[in-house]
Every structure is written in C-alpha cells, then in structure tokens.
Amino acid sequence: MYGRVFGVSVVGVRGHLVVVEAHIGRGLPSLTLTGLPGAPVQDARDRVRPAVESAGLEWPLRRVVVNLSPANLRKEGPGMDLPVAMGVLAASTQVPGAHLARYAFAGELSLRGTLVATPGILSVAMAASRAGLEGVVVPAANAPEAGLVDGIRVVGAPSLAEAVGFFRGSWRPPVPEAAPGVGNGRGHSVDFAEVRGQAQARRALEVAAAGGHNVLLVGPPGAGKTMLARRLATILPALSREEALEVTQLHSVAGLLGNGALLMERPFRSPHHSVSLPALLGGGSAYLRPGEVSLAHHGILFLDELMEFRRDAIEGLRQPLEDGRVVVSRMAGSAEFPARFTLVAAANPCPCGYSGDPGRRCDCLEHRVQAYRQKLSGPLLDRIDLQLVVPRLSKAELLGERPGEPSARMRERVEAARDRQRHRYAGTGYPCNAQLPGPLARREAQMTSRARDLLAQAVDRLGLTGRGFDRALKVARTVADLGGSDAVDADHVAEALSYRMNVTQGSLPRAG
Amino acid sequence: MRGERVGGPWPTWPPGFTLAEADRSAALVLSALSGLTPRRLLAYASQGRSASACLELVRRGELGSSRDRRFAKELGGVEIATRLDRCGARTVVWDDAAYPTQLRTIHDPPFVLYVRGGPLPGAERAVAIVGSRRCTALGRELAQAIGYGLASVGVTVVSGAAVGIDSASHEGALEVGGPTVAVLGGGVDAAGTGSRRSLIERIVDHGAVVSEYPPGVPPVAFRFPARNRIVAGLCRATVVVEGAQGSGSLITGSHALEFGRDVYAVPGAPTNPLSHVPLQLIREGATMIRGAEDLLEDLGVDRAPGGEALDLTLAEAAALRSLVGPTLPERVARELRVGLADALTLLVRLEMRGLVRSVGGRFEATLAATARTG
C-alpha cells in the first residue's frame, strides 16, 4: 500500500518542494522516516500518530516507512507534520488520492490533531506556486499569509480532520479574506516634526534616505541619536509590493508574523549590543533562522553603542553590507537570507562620551580617546558614507527652535531624488548612489571641474583617504540629486564634506 | 608679573660639592637613591661635606634608607657612566661651568643634570610653555603658535614633553627647527613609545632633553611636580595656556613666581574648566596675553612678520563673523539668511583653508582666522 503527497521544506527563506512517500508493509507496528529529516522533522515521527488517532482516523498497525525525496536535501522546519500524516492516510486509503497530487501540504500538528500556526508558510505557498500546483493546505491561522501569493488556492484547515474532509468532499474551506496590510507607509508612530533643532543631522538623514547611504551618528549621551535614527524609516520611500513580500516572507520564516498580513512598513530593528552572532546574522543549531540583519531587510538596522558590540559581530556585518545577503553555514547545511538594509550606527565620541561637548568636561585620558577613535575607524567605517557628529543641545540652543519639518515633506524630496537615480542607473542593476561601486560612481558623478578641484583639495587639506574620496563623491552625487541637478557642483561636494567625522584631531595646520 | 622672592635665598649645594672626579662619580650614585630626600642630603652637604663624603655616610648606613645603603654599596659611578654612554647622554654637575646659572637660584636645585642633545639655554633666552594634558583643539593651537613664535626669534621653548599643551609647544618650536628643551620626569633614556619617542628624538636633535634622574628611572607621575621646578627654573618666563583645577601647570606657575620669574597666562572663558589655572594666575598678578604677539612684545623681542591678509568673499567673512565660540551650523544659516546646505558649504570651504574647525558638531574659528581678522 503506497501513498504520495507534496510537502515543502523551507531552507533559508526559500521553499523546496519535497515528495513525501508512505509505504505500509508487513511487520511490527512502527514508523520509519528516511530521506535526511532534520531534527524538527524527526520529531514528527512521534507526533503524527497521536494526531491521526485524535482526528478520529485510523493509524495502520503495521510497519510504516515514510520517505522524503529528494534524499540529498535536508528537510527542515516543523511544517512536515501534515504531509507525513497525509502520506500515511493516503497509503492506508483513508483519503481519496484523486486530487492529493495537486496540493502541497504544510503545517505542524498538535497531539489533538489541530493544525497550529507554523513559520514560513508564505515561502511554502511561493514554492507551490512556482511548482505550478493548484493549491496549498495550511493551518487556518496561516491562511491569510499564504493568500498573499497570487494564483494559488489556499485551504486553511483548522485541524487534520478538516484537511482530510476537504479531500473527501465533506468539508469546504471558508473563502480566505484578504488581510489588510500592516502600515501603509504613512502610519508611522514617530515623525521628524517632533525633532527640535539638530538641523544638520536632519539634513544628513535626508541625504542618507535619498541615496541609501549608511549613517554613523557620533555624539554624547542625550544628544538624541536614537530619536533621530528611529525617524529615518519615516522618510524612506514606501515599500514596493515585491519588497513588502520579501519583508513579510522573512518575518514569516522567523515566526514573527502576527496575523499574516503583508508588512508594508519598513522594518526598524535595533538589536542590543549583547546580541549573539547567530541572532545578528542568522543561524541556530536545529533550524536556520534569519538574523537581525535579515529582519531589517529593506529597512533599518540600528546599532546603538556601536563600540560595545562584539568584534566578530561587527566583522560579520561586512558581508551583508557588501552583498545585501548573508550566507549562514552550519553542519545542517547552508542557507542564504537577503539582508539589504540601511545601517545606522550610534557611538559616543570617546569612552566617557563628552569629548567635544562645550558644556561638560571629558574625563578620558588622551591615549584612551585615541585608541577608541582608532577602534571606531575600522573597515566597517569604510562602508558608512555619512559620518555625523550630533551635538547635545544646550537649553539656549533649544529655545526658539520651532518644531521641524514633518516626515511626509522630507519623503517627497527623497522619492524625487530616488527617481532620478533609478532613471540614471536603469540597466546597471544598482538602485541608488550608495550601492554603486567606486569606479562606476566616479564615472556617473558628472562632476564639474570646480567640484573636482575642491575634492582634490580636500585630499590635501582635510586628509581625505582614497575610500573617503569615494564616499564623499557618492554623497555629493546624492546632494545634487536632492537639489535636482544633473551635474555635481562644488557646492554639493562641500556639503558632502561636512558629513564626515574628524577622527584625526590634533593634526591641524599651524596657526599664525 | 615679576614674582616676589618669598623666603629669600635658600640653602643650596656648597661650592665644591661635586668638584673632584670622585665627587662627580659619587653624585651620580646619590642621584639614583630613592630613599634619600634632597633636603636631608642638603643638610649634610651644607656642613661642608662633599658628594663622596655623603656617599660614604650612606654606605655606612648613617644617611638614607637601608635600601639606599645596599644599593649604594653595589652601585658605582662607573655603572651609571656606562649607561650614559649607551644612550648618548652627558652629565652636568653643580660645579661645572655649563650648569645653567638661572637654575642655581631656585629652591632645591638639582646637583646633577643628565642631558641628551645640545647645550642648555641661558636664562634670558628660554621661556617655558606649560598646560593641561587634556586640552582643547584651540589650546593646542595656541601653544603651538606661541612655541613657533618664540623659536622663530631664537628663544628656547622649554616644556615637559607630556601629551597635550606640552607636546604642542615643542611641536611649534620644532616647526622652525627649534630650539626647544624637554625636562623629563624620568631618565633621559626612558623616552616612551610611538609618537612620544619620535617627539623626544626630534627634541634631542633640535635642542636638549634634560632630567635630574639617571637613565633607567621610569617616568612616574609622582616625580612630575619636582620636574616642574626645573622647567620653571630654566626660564626667564613661564606661559600657562590651559589648566584645570589641580593641574600641574599651577605648580609650575607658582614655582616661577617663587623664583622671581615672569608668569604669563592665556585666558579662556570662565565657564571652561580648563581656564581655571590661567585665570587664577592672572588674578594673582600674572600678565594676560592673547597669543604669541603679546608675549613677544612683552619680552621685547622682534616679532616675525605677521600673516598675510585673508582673501575672503563677503559671505565667507560674514560666516566667520557669525562664529562666536562653538556655533551650530543652523545658527550660521539663520544669521546669514541662507539655507543650511549653503551654510555648511561655506563652513567647509573655510575649514579647508584652516580658518574654521568642527568640534563636536559645532563650528568655531581657528586661531589663524582670529589672528588675521582681529
């Protein structure tokens, strides 16, 4: 007696179609799983039988072998319970096999036979759609999420009994209602209008949003670094549907999707500096989960107290910053997660935090400040185009400052600047200035001769390095885009040069 | 201000204390003893004993600690002399003609000086510049400019080679090739590492490095106040640039007053903790100076020709005028009635000409700008 159904194994964010074969033969009652099941899938062995019996169905009291194919793919995720159960039921002819092969099955079973919400169902539905199947059978709680995929029938079953009933023709699933999107891109809980003063930081963040640049905010405690970083998300252009699907998919795989609605708001992730490497970059021993860098995909990854993060965590950020993805390798196999985020890092200017603050004295020893700055100026800093000192404002400076411009108006300018970039870089595969590689950036910048002279002078006078040169160039390009200018002029370069940190204090030219 | 001599002439080393060759060698050993205070040694020396006689007392256990006794028995002047040769240092003792005259009149003068580099300056040609280790960028610029101004008219700049104001003063003097002298709180061979070592080597090449401790003595903070008396004692005047409460620069300034030397101080905002020592000294009668020009005028030496006039656009000049202390860029924009981006552009252009610097997210005029625009 033989049965065959489709399941989906989610590796990383991608679902892979798995053939689940069940054979019932002679021998002592037992269930054997073959075909490289991962640890959560092994668990299904003991879960499926009670679930089947609770659903009022019969478990064949013979030797049952379930094989998962292709055998070279490691089967991950708790969603394999339902296909294993359906395979056995098909083999024991308790489910008519006529339509079984047109559906993919995914979902975790409880011992009472109910289907519980399972992570990664959006990836399951996408895989089924890619494979050209007619529909998916998933837990009822995940039905809205699966419904985000167009052109596929979603059967949201509350329990195993209903899933079987659907194929017997005795139960009809309710028509899934389209879940409303979470956030429409305008419903942020914070707004730039609430920020008083900090004009340079506001302008710098507008430039960052317009060019997709990473930002470092350096300032004493209480300067408002976190407040500013949170509001960067509110001026980024709205997510496109594809982007929103990617974001939703990642949150689904991580099990963080509440009601299965499409996530339309750009994510803002702010891991604590004690975060472990797997939690930041993705991984985990039993089941590969996306890390904070991937949960921040298409959004903002905010690292407060950058200097407190472990060194290997900082080093680990280089790959995602470079490639927009992370590859997580474990003994269990490797998985790739998208991770294209805007990095916003915040740090104190010195160990005590008050260096350069006119209102408070810095208590750090000179060589410790030097060592701290040295640590700050590592390879990560080369990936951060905008480096900004955020001063702590005195009462006098705050008084008389009107509430700032609202986020919506800033976003209009950002979107216009992004349009210009999309237009210019059509066909290159790069969406914005920040992601342009150096040589291409130099070619595309269209600098006037005055701009070129000024940038060359900066190398001499401000000690600009080669990488610093490229960073200033890209930022100048964005400043020009915000100004609606085709060419990069000297003024654009000069403004770009104001968004860099003066790490080399004390090497000032002689006065006199 | 010329300080009043408080307490009159102090007991000093008797002539002939280090005259004989044996005394010279004994003086080196005595300078290495940590348990023997100069005051106690002086009490024995003023009874007419020579250095070798004092050393004999130490070896017999009648003077100094038991550790000194052990040490003095094992150590001969020869060992120290070998060490001196190795680091290229020489000694100047109390009875040498090369011993700086101005040092003879200070309280508790050293009976031996270890020197690397060139000759020590005469009193009329040396000025000390001292100040905080943790200083502001402006203070560093000031110290550097004063050091530069003094050295360019041939006045030796004396300081302690510490980080901050000290280093900036030496650097300023080194820009015109010295002369500059560093007085160290440890042996002249313990030159530290990295940038400090390179600074000391350059000072050796363009002046001298001096210490009262033999080579091998580590530079430890408790010796620095004692070092400061030599800094003040070597010079006709002492300039204090920045110093917080409890800073060593107050000690140096007080020493200078006590020795009857001139004291100058560069004032700062009363709210700035680093203004504490300069303002305190000014209240006590030190002469206030605004920079190198004031100092050179008071010292009666000719100033090198001043900087050329600045070629500024109207907007740049207005931006420079709008900087009153550290100023936020939006203030500048408001004052000039331009957008923030334009204000930033102006400020960066000024920064590239060395007229403006950014400090903690605010902008301030550099010394170069204030000196030339008045």
Using CB atoms, pick whichever of A389, A457, A495 lies closest to residue B360: A389
A494 vs B344: CB contact, 8 Å cut-off? yes
Mean pLDDT of A469-480: 92
Mean pLDDT of B311-335: 86
- B138 touches A at CB < 8 Å: no
Using CB atoms, pick whichever of A223, A366, A397 lies closest to residue B163: A366
ipTM, 2 dp: 0.76
- B341 touches A at CB < 8 Å: yes
Confidence of residue B374 (pLDDT cuts 50, 70, 90): very low
pLDDT given at position A228 = 92
Quote the CA–CA distance of B178 and B101 in Å, as a whole number: 22
pLDDT given at position A346 = 92
B354 vs A511: CB contact, 8 Å cut-off? yes
Closest-CA residue of chain B to A499: B344
Helix, strand, coil in percent for chain A, rounding step 5: 40, 20, 40
pLDDT given at position A303 = 93
Residues of A in contact with B341 (CB under 8 A): 203, 479, 483, 491, 495
pLDDT given at position B358 = 83
- Which of these ranges, A42-56, A137-151, A313-327, B45-59, has the smallest mean pLDDT? B45-59
Q: Across A126-135, B99-108, B111-120, B361-370, which has the greatest mean pLDDT? A: A126-135
Residues of B in contact with A216 (CB under 8 A): none
Share of chain A above pLDDT 90, in %: 44
Mean pLDDT of B293-312: 70
Which one is predicted more confidently, B365 or B77?
B365
Tell me the longest C-alpha to C-alpha distance in chain A.
Answer: 100
B188-204 pLDDT per residue, tens: 886 666 777 888 889 98
Residues of B in contact with A479 (CB under 8 A): 341
Using CB atoms, pick whichever of B274, B329, B371 lies closest to residue A200: B329
A309-329 pLDDT per residue, tens: 888 888 889 889 888 889 887
Q: Which two tokens stand for residue A29?
A: 């009652």
Confidence of residue A208 (pLDDT cuts 50, 70, 90): very high
Which B-chain residues 163-222 have CB contacts (< 8 A) with chain A? 163-164, 172, 175
Residue (of A491, A507, A437, A502) closest to A216 by Cα position:
A502
Helix, strand, coil in percent for chain B, rounding step 5: 45, 15, 40
Quote the CA–CA distance of A21 and A6 in Å, as a whole number: 9
Q: Which two tokens stand for residue A8?
A: 């989906």
pLDDT given at position A507 = 31
Residue (of A240, A267, A284) closest to A119 by Cα position:
A284
Residue A511 has pLDDT above 80, yes or no: no
Bond prior to A70 in cis (omega within 30° of 0): yes
- A458 touches B at CB < 8 Å: yes
- B125 touches A at CB < 8 Å: no
Quote the CA–CA distance of A239 and A473 in Å, as a whole number: 27
Which one is predicted more confidently, B235 or A335?
B235
pLDDT given at position A178 = 62
Confidence of residue A509 (pLDDT cuts 50, 70, 90): very low
Yes or no: say if B221 and B228 are a contact pair by the CB < 8 Å rule. no
A482-496 pLDDT per residue, tens: 999 999 999 999 999
Quote the CA–CA distance of B345 and A4 in Å, as a whole number: 70
Confidence of residue B7 (pLDDT cuts 50, 70, 90): very low
Residue B19 has pLDDT above 90, yes or no: no
A240-295 pLDDT per residue, tens: 888 899 999 999 988 888 777 788 888 999 999 999 888 998 887 667 789 999 99
Residue A435 has pLDDT above 90, yes or no: no
Mean pLDDT of A402-407: 84
In chain A, ranges of CATH 3.40.50.300 domains: 192-401
- B335 touches A at CB < 8 Å: no
pLDDT given at position B9 = 65
Yes or no: say if A283 and A291 are a contact pair by the CB < 8 Å rule. yes
Which one is predicted more confidently, A105 or B77?
A105
Residues of B in contact with A400 (CB under 8 A): none
Confidence of residue A203 (pLDDT cuts 50, 70, 90): very high
Residues of B in contact with A494 (CB under 8 A): 344-346, 348-349
Closest-CA residue of chain B to A492: B345
Count of C-beta atoms within a 10 Å radius of residue A93: 12
Would you list the DSSP string of B196-231? HHHHHHHHHHTEEEEESSPTT----GGGHHHHHHHH
pLDDT given at position B183 = 93
A and B: number of Cβ contacts within 8 A: 122
B360 vs A356: CB contact, 8 Å cut-off? yes
B354 vs A495: CB contact, 8 Å cut-off? no
Using CB atoms, pick whichever of B134, B274, B368 lies closest to residue A511: B368
Quote the CA–CA distance of B219 and B212 in Å, as a whole number: 12
Residue A85 has pLDDT above 60, yes or no: yes
Hey, which CATH number is domain A192-401, 3.40.50.300, 2.60.40.10, 3.20.20.140, 3.40.50.1220?
A: 3.40.50.300
A199 vs B340: CB contact, 8 Å cut-off? yes
Full-model pTM: 0.73
Min Cα distance B87 → chain A (Å) is 26
Min Cα distance A359 → chain B (Å) is 8
Report the relative pairing of strands A300-303 and A268-269 from DSSP bridges.
parallel
B361 vs A390: CB contact, 8 Å cut-off? yes
pLDDT given at position A512 = 25
Mean pLDDT of B31-39: 78
Yes or no: say if B167 and B269 are a contact pair by the CB < 8 Å rule. no
pLDDT given at position A182 = 59
Q: Which residue segments constitute the domains of chain B, with CATH numbers given?
A: 123-299 (3.40.50.450), 314-373 (1.10.10.10)
Using CB atoms, pick whichever of B137, B341, B371 lies closest to residue A505: B137
Q: Which two tokens stand for residue B169?
A: 């003063």
Residue B307 has pLDDT above 70, yes or no: no
- A195 touches B at CB < 8 Å: no
- Under DSSP, the state recorded for A263 is B
Secondary structure of residue B172 in the 3-state scheme = helix
Residue (of A273, A277, A270, A323) closest to A299 by Cα position:
A270
Mean pLDDT of B251-271: 90
Min Cα distance B20 → chain A (Å) is 46
Secondary structure of residue B191 in the 3-state scheme = coil
pLDDT given at position A366 = 72
Using CB atoms, pick whichever of B149, B341, B361 lies closest to residue A389: B361
Confidence of residue A355 (pLDDT cuts 50, 70, 90): confident
B344 vs A498: CB contact, 8 Å cut-off? yes
Secondary structure of residue A336 in the 3-state scheme = strand
Count of C-beta atoms within a 10 Å radius of residue B162: 22
- B305 touches A at CB < 8 Å: no
Residue with tokens 């709008």: B322
Mean pLDDT, rounded, of chain B:
84
Bond prior to A349 in cis (omega within 30° of 0): no
- SS3 track for A120-142: CHHHHHHHHHHCCCCEEEEEHHH
Yes or no: say if B302 and A164 are a contact pair by the CB < 8 Å rule. no
Share of chain B above pLDDT 90, in %: 20
Which one is predicted more confidently, B304 or A37?
A37
Report the relative pairing of strands A282-283 and A289-290 from DSSP bridges.
antiparallel
A94-116 pLDDT per residue, tens: 998 888 999 999 999 999 999 99
Residue B6 has pLDDT above 60, yes or no: no
Quote the CA–CA distance of A216 and A213 in Å, as a whole number: 10
Residue (of A238, A239, A260, A259) closest to A249 by Cα position:
A260
B348 vs A495: CB contact, 8 Å cut-off? yes
Mean pLDDT of B278-287: 91
Residues of A in contact with B366 (CB under 8 A): 508, 511
- Per DSSP, what are the bridge partners of residue B237? B127, B262
Min Cα distance B159 → chain A (Å) is 18
Quote the CA–CA distance of B172 and B174 in Å, as a whole number: 5
Share of chain B above pLDDT 70, in %: 93
pLDDT given at position A332 = 61
Mean pLDDT, rounded, of chain A:
86
Secondary structure of residue B347 in the 3-state scheme = helix
Residue (of A277, A276, A320) closest to A297 by Cα position:
A320
Return the CATH fold of A2-168: Ribosomal Protein S5; domain 2 (3.30.230)
- B278 touches A at CB < 8 Å: no
- A506 touches B at CB < 8 Å: yes
Min Cα distance B327 → chain A (Å) is 10
Q: Across A181-195, A321-335, B168-182, which has the greatest mean pLDDT? A: B168-182
- SS3 track for A162-186: HHHHHHHCCCCCCCCCCCCCECCCC
Taking phi over 0 as left and psi of -120 to 50 as alpha, with beta for the rest, B354 belongs to left
- B87 touches A at CB < 8 Å: no
Give the helix ranges, DSSP H, for A241-317: 241-253, 277-281, 292-295, 311-316
Which one is predicted more confidently, A19 or B20?
A19
Secondary structure of residue B79 in the 3-state scheme = helix
Residues of A in contact with B354 (CB under 8 A): 461, 508-509, 511
Min Cα distance B189 → chain A (Å) is 21
Number of helices and strands in chain A (H, E): 19, 18
Which one is predicted more confidently, B239 or A468?
B239
Quote the CA–CA distance of B127 and B142 in Å, as a whole number: 15
Number of helices and strands in chain B (H, E): 17, 11
A510 vs B148: CB contact, 8 Å cut-off? yes
In chain A, ranges of CATH 3.30.230.10 domains: 2-168
Yes or no: say if A85 and A109 are a contact pair by the CB < 8 Å rule. yes
Residue with tokens 């500013």: A228
Go through chain B and tell me how many residues it has. 374
- Mutate: best of B345, B346, B351, B356, partner A, most A CBs <10 A: B345
